[in-house]
Amino acid sequence: MIKVNVLSASIGAALLFGAVGSTQAATTTQDVASLKAQVAQLQQLVQQLSNQQQNQAVQLQQTSELAAAKPAPVAPTVASGKPGWLTLPDGQTQVKIYGSVRVDGTYDLKGNPSPSISNNSNSVPLNSANATKNNLNVSAATSRIGLDIVRPTEYGDLTGKIEADFAGSATGSSQTTNGNGSFRIRHAYMSLGNWLVGQTTSPFVNADTSPDTVDFNGAMGYGSTRTVQVRYTQPLTANQKLLVALEGGDVDNINNSTASTVFSKTTTVNGVATTTSTQTANTSGGNRLPALTARYDVTTADKKGLLQVHGMLHENRISLNDNVDETKLGWGVGVGGKYNLTPNDTLFANYYHIKGDSKYLLYANAAYVAYQNPTTGDLSIYEGEYDTGLIGYGHKWSPKWRSNIAAGAIWYKDDTDYAAKAPSLNKNLYNILVNSFYTPVKNLDLGMEYTYGQRETFASSTATTDNKGDYSRVNLMAKYSF
């Protein structure tokens, strides 16, 4: 604006001096009038230029204010480049492969009902059965492979996991017998923010508060059940969170071994009572509703301690046809914890009370037995009710050597229709184990473990049949993790 005014004054002065000189030379009034007209036109042009510059300045100011008010474009989120992760061609998705090569060997000092490396404390032959002893079983089916996936979004990281092993069902043989086994999904889920959808460990089980074992299953009173679920996790404080999940999958588990007893009809012919089977124990339909599970976590401020409270509720249902159908609720509560006494010493403890469920914790009986009234045909469900306890202690002798000792038990209420209708089922079970792990080089674990256990049935001992069965086994393991 200042530059335009200066230009105007300069041009006016030059023209005026020129006009004066011209007037003096021409000495005519007409020439003076003509020059004055030219000066007026030039001043008008200068004013127009000045107005145009002012308008441009206002437009530039408005454009600058709009640019300041408008958010800057969000640049595409780029993967963070985590060590050990592979970035896919899109430049955002990262994946990491992990897993383990594992070989197990077991030697049963007492009878084992199946050629498997799985712990069979709940089904070992009764002592009076004189079962074959000293059995060797080996397997590599517990080897596993997994894939972690992460991709940044405007809502946070979108993560996923796929993990599988080879301990699935093998047709015609044990699932973990030497050379057998089939590929099975362990984890397959995605998560974004507080939400998770897919198959992974249920909030009801105690995988975080139990000691490490060589046995692939774990100690009595332990659970690692993985279910398909929709789960929401709500952090409450820096040290507390709540998990709530709706879980799919049929938890109906009728005791097929007692089918001829449970589903029976007694008639009398010529004074002789005769029992004939009227139904089979197979069910159809399954559950109509998902299971509800929850877990509340509390960690100490120094991260040495962890406390978890568990809850579970689901439907038990047996349906022979549309007219013969019965349901009852199964439920359970539990509490578990671990505490690091020192950097080398850790205590573990868990307790559950459960009714009408056998899905979540290992070694439990069938969830219920069912009885059909021989006169009316109506069904009744008798649920098993039991408690479990697990305690353990872990110690690190050195950076390469660690050991654990654990004792677990399951005990059922025996004054119930459940016990009366299925006397061959277990009333009490326990096992005790002690192990050691040696890590000669990074990622390589060599383990050895001894387990002793016993089961006792609801039925009483007779002169020929014992109601107890003892279990004794040595486990060996070599695992390379990557």
Q: What is the pLDDT of residue 62?
A: 66
77 in a domain, yes or no? Answer: no
Query: In which band, very low, low, confident or very high, does the pLDDT at 402 lie, cut at 50, 70 and 90?
Result: very high
Are residues 343 and 271 part of one domain?
A: yes
- What φ, ψ does residue 37 adopt, rounded to 5°? -65, -40
Are residues 251 and 123 part of one domain?
A: yes
% of the chain residues with pLDDT over 70? 77
Position with higher pLDDT, 319 vs 385: 385
Residue 270 clears pLDDT 70, i.e. is over it: no
Q: What is the pLDDT of residue 320?
A: 75
Give the span between the Cα atoms of 211 and 222, in whole angstroms. Answer: 9
Are residues 154 and 50 part of one domain?
A: no
Are residues 259 and 146 part of one domain?
A: yes
Q: What is the pLDDT of residue 64?
A: 62
* Total number of domains in the chain: 2
Q: What is the pLDDT of residues 350-384, one digit of tens each?
A: 999 999 999 999 999 989 888 877 788 788 889 99
The 8 Å CB, 24+ separation contacts for 10-18 are: 11/42, 11/46, 12/39, 12/42, 12/43, 15/39, 15/42
Residues sharing a CB contact under 8 Å with residue 170, sequence separation 6 or more, in sequence order: 177, 180, 181, 182
On average, the pLDDT of the chain sits at 83
Are residues 62 and 108 part of one domain?
A: no
Are residues 55 and 198 part of one domain?
A: no
Last residue of a domain, one of 17, 35, 69: 69
Residue 282 clears pLDDT 50, i.e. is over it: no
80 in a domain, yes or no? Answer: no
Query: In which band, very low, low, confident or very high, does the pLDDT at 259 lie, cut at 50, 70 and 90?
Result: very low
Task: Count CA within 13 A, CB hemisphere, residue 198.
Answer: 16
Give the span between the Cα atoms of 263 and 377, in whole angstroms. Answer: 10
% of the chain residues with pLDDT over 90? 60
Q: What is the pLDDT of residues 311-348, one digit of tens each?
A: 999 998 887 777 778 889 999 999 999 999 999 999 99
76 in a domain, yes or no? Answer: no
79 in a domain, yes or no? Answer: no
Last residue of a domain, one of 37, 69, 101: 69
Is-contact 137 115, C-beta < 8 A?
A: yes
Residues sharing a CB contact under 8 Å with residue 380, sequence separation 6 or more, in sequence order: 326, 370, 371, 372, 373, 417
Query: In which band, very low, low, confident or very high, does the pLDDT at 254 lie, cut at 50, 70 and 90?
Result: very low
Are residues 47 and 92 part of one domain?
A: no
Is-contact 144 101, C-beta < 8 A?
A: no
Residue 253 clears pLDDT 80, i.e. is over it: no
74 in a domain, yes or no? Answer: no
159 in a domain, yes or no? Answer: yes
Q: What is the pLDDT of residues 149-203, one digit of tens each?
A: 999 999 999 999 999 999 987 554 556 667 677 899 999 999 999 999 999 999 9
Is-contact 133 111, C-beta < 8 A?
A: yes
Are residues 173 and 29 part of one domain?
A: no
Last residue of a domain, one of 69, 98, 119: 69
Are residues 351 and 259 part of one domain?
A: yes
Are residues 45 and 193 part of one domain?
A: no
Position with higher pLDDT, 58 vs 322: 322
Are residues 315 and 207 part of one domain?
A: yes
142 in a domain, yes or no? Answer: yes
424 in a domain, yes or no? Answer: yes
Question: Stretch 229-238: mean pLDDT, rounded?
Answer: 97
Is-contact 480 446, C-beta < 8 A?
A: no
Give the CATH number for residue 362. 2.40.160.10
Domain extent for 45: 2-69
Are residues 205 and 281 part of one domain?
A: yes
Q: What is the pLDDT of residues 103-149, one digit of tens each?
A: 999 999 987 767 788 888 899 999 999 888 899 999 999 999 999 99
From the CA atom positions of the chain, what is the Rg in Å?
A: 40
